[in-house]
């Protein structure tokens, strides 16, 4: 599959997801995220392979307003090329610099995600202090693993719904890892399914919220 074919396929999948969400009212957060996760992460490298999203055969990452180190390398190379007084970055170091910058970007994204989780937990604790811990929230399953369903709920919160809380059945991950299947009844809790949950406990310093089910609409 060429990059153009892959782009066309992702575009078609995105349109189908949007049509499904409009028709059913389910899955906007979960399915949109699932489509994005199928895309290969960007990687810094000295070889110019273009920009898939922009459909540009010549792309140079130097427009960032936060001035990442890759931006500075690009600036120096361009200034050197037009004789503006900069020494060009050594070509022999570019492979290593690309790998190092890619790893730093992944690390920064992980820290950002963890910080968001902590901030959401403190905000949730404050909100529950005002409304009461018995508050029920509309939510949506945004991910599943063998023992847990991940749920987005309320005003931008996220939490864990352990399968041991889904009483009366034994739940297992399906072969596509998109849902939990009840071995006795055959019910399926899929990514995108709506749920109603309550907060069981919040561990704000760890950025973790545990939920209990009120109603499962699978």
Of 202, 34, 27, nearest to 120 by C-alpha is 202
**112 to each of 29, 41, 50, 91, how far by Cα in Å?**
19, 16, 27, 32
Answer whether 155's CB lies under 8 Å from 161's CB. Answer: no
pLDDT given for residue 92 in this prediction: 93
In this prediction the pTM is 0.79
Name the stretches of the chain with pLDDT < 50.
none
What is the distance between the alpha carbons of residues 178 and 19, in angstroms, rounded to a whole number? 19
Q: How is domain 117-216 classified at the CATH fold level?
A: OB fold (Dihydrolipoamide Acetyltransferase, E2P) (2.40.50)
Question: Strands 179-182, 136-144: parallel, antiparallel or unpaired by DSSP?
Answer: unpaired
Q: Where are the domains of the chain?
A: 117-216
**CA 120 to CA 156: how far, in whole Å?**
8
pLDDT attached to residue 68:
79
**The predicted structure's pLDDT at residue 53:** 65
Burial degree of 57 (CB within 10 A; 0-12, 13-18, 19+): exposed
Answer whether 134's CB lies under 8 Å from 198's CB: yes
In whole angstroms, what is the distance from residue 172 CA to residue 146 CA?
6
Q: What is the pLDDT of residue 28?
A: 85
Determine the pLDDT at residue 122: 97
Round to whole Å and give the CA distance between 218 and 193.
6
């Amino acid at each position: 599959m060429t990059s153009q074919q892959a782009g066309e396929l992702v575009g078609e999948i995105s349109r189908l997801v949007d049509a499904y969400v409009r028709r059913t009212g389910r899955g906007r957060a979960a399915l949109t995220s699932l489509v994005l996760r199928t895309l290969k992460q960007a990687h810094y490298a000295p070889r110019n392979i273009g920009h898939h999203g922009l459909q540009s055969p010549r792309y140079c990452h130097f427009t960032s307003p936060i001035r990442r180190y890759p931006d500075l390398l690009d600036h120096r190379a361009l200034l050197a090329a037009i004789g503006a007084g900069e020494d060009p970055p050594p070509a022999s170091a570019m492979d290593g610099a690309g790998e190092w910058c890619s790893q730093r970007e992944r690390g920064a994204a992980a820290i950002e995600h963890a910080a968001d989780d902590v901030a959401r937990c403190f905000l949730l604790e404050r909100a529950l202090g005002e409304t009461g811990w018995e508050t029920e929230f509309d939510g949506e399953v945004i991910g599943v693993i063998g023992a847990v369903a991940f749920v987005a709920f309320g005003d931008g919160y996220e939490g864990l719904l352990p399968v041991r809380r889904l009483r009366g059945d034994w739940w297992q991950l399906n072969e596509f890892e998109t849902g939990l299947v009840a071995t006795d009844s055959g019910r399926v809790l899929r990514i995108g399914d709506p749920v109603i949950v309550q907060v069981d406990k919040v561990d704000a310093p760890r950025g973790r919220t545990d939920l209990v089910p009120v109603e499962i609409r699978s």
